[in-house]
């Protein structure tokens, strides 16, 4: 068993570097440690200036996503022991601009989430006196999988289509749209479909499926996109047969 393991950590301090570089750190090897523990060790004991994001340390907040040996991972759920004897290369999430060291700019991702109208849309609201909108366990199951997303952006770092075209709305935003489309209380599918049927929406996806493989929460964004494509194709066919109305 080894006592220490080497991390090669990407550094980018815009006030002193024009290009990212790598810095090597030797950290204690503990079989219970995840990559995030090693980064915290570096920050606490070796170099307090190292910048990265994390919060919950339990796969819930979605903020600790980074590239680990070339693959997008939640660093709080990725054990050092998987990479023995090392070295382990840690880089910021691919395809996003780097703000500093391992922290990336999230604005594009947040804008994409917002653009799919991720809220319940009603054509007609019921008066409060009629009570809440009830839902059966089966109706909940219809969309529950898509609601498990923690916005970690790992599926974007895994998606070659997003890598080539940043206008592509991307896997998590499409899964989020489907989370609301499949909700029995929602009546906004057509509104979202108009937006997402554009090239940058569902049709940009060439079904590589890497998003679903990489997702740490089993959300299956690739499945959501396929469902969406089927729906869009059906609606197009209906509008062709019945041009007077799309319902």
Q: Which is nearer to ligand FES, 56 or 233 (CB)?
A: 56
Q: Which range touches ligand FES (CB under 6 A), out of 57-65, 84-92, 96-104, 238-246?
A: 57-65
Shortest CB 59 distance to ligand FES, Å: 5
- Report if residue 154 touches ligand SF4, rule: CB under 6 A: yes
Of 70-99, binders to ligand FES (CB under 6 A) are 74, 76
From the list ligand FES, ligand SF4, none, which binds 20 (C-beta under 5 to 8 Å, kind-based)?
none
- Report if residue 64 touches ligand SF4, rule: CB under 6 A: no
Number of Cα atoms under 13 Å in the Cβ half of residue 183 = 20
- Report if residue 201 touches ligand SF4, rule: CB under 6 A: no
**3-state helix vs strand vs coil in the chain, percent to 5:** 40, 15, 45
Q: Say if CB 176 and CB 146 are below 8 A apart.
A: yes
Shortest CB 60 distance to ligand FES, Å: 6
- Cα 145 to its chain centre, rounded Å, is 14
Q: Say if CB 102 and CB 51 are below 8 A apart.
A: yes
Neighbour tally for 149: CB within 10 Å: 21
Q: Which is nearer to ligand SF4, 7 or 153 (CB)?
A: 153
- Report if residue 230 touches ligand FES, rule: CB under 6 A: no
- Report if residue 155 touches ligand SF4, rule: CB under 6 A: yes
Report the alpha-carbon distance of residue 69 to residue 13 in Å, rounded: 21
CA end-to-end span of the chain, whole Å? 65
Radius of gyration of the chain (CA): 21
Q: And the tokens for 3? A: 């006592």
Binding residues (CB under 6 A) for ligand SF4: these are 149-155, 171-172, 175, 215, 217, 219, 221
The site for ligand FES (CB under 6 A) is made up of: 54-57, 59-64, 74, 76
């Amino acid at each position: 068993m080894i006592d220490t393991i080497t991390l090669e950590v990407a550094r980018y301090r815009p006030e002193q570097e024009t290009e990212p570089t790598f810095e090597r750190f030797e950290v204690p090897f503990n079989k219970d440690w995840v990559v995030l523990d090693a980064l915290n060790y570096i920050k606490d004991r070796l170099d307090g200036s190292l910048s990265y994001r994390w919060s919950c340390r339990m796969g819930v907040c979605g903020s600790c996503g980074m590239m680990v040996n070339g693959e997008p991972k939640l660093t709080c759920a990725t054990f050092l022991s998987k990479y023995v004897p090392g070295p382990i290369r840690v880089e910021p999430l691919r395809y996003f601009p780097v703000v500093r060291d391992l922290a990336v700019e999230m604005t594009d991702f947040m804008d994409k989430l917002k653009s799919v109208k991720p809220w319940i849309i009603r054509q007609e609201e019921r008066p409060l006196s009629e009570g809440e909108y009830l839902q059966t366990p089966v109706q909940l199951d219809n969309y529950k999988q898509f609601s498990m997303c923690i916005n970690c952006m790992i599926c974007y770092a895994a998606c070659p289509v997003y890598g080539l075209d940043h206008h592509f709305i991307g896997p998590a935003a499409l899964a989020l749209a489907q989370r609301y489309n499949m909700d029995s209380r929602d009546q906004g599918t057509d509104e979202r479909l108009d937006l997402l049927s554009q090239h940058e929406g569902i049709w940009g996806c060439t079904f590589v499926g890497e998003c679903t493989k990489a997702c740490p929460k089993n959300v299956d964004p690739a499945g959501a996109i396929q469902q969406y494509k089927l729906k869009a194709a059906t609606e197009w066919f209906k509008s062709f047969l019945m041009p007077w109305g799309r319902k």
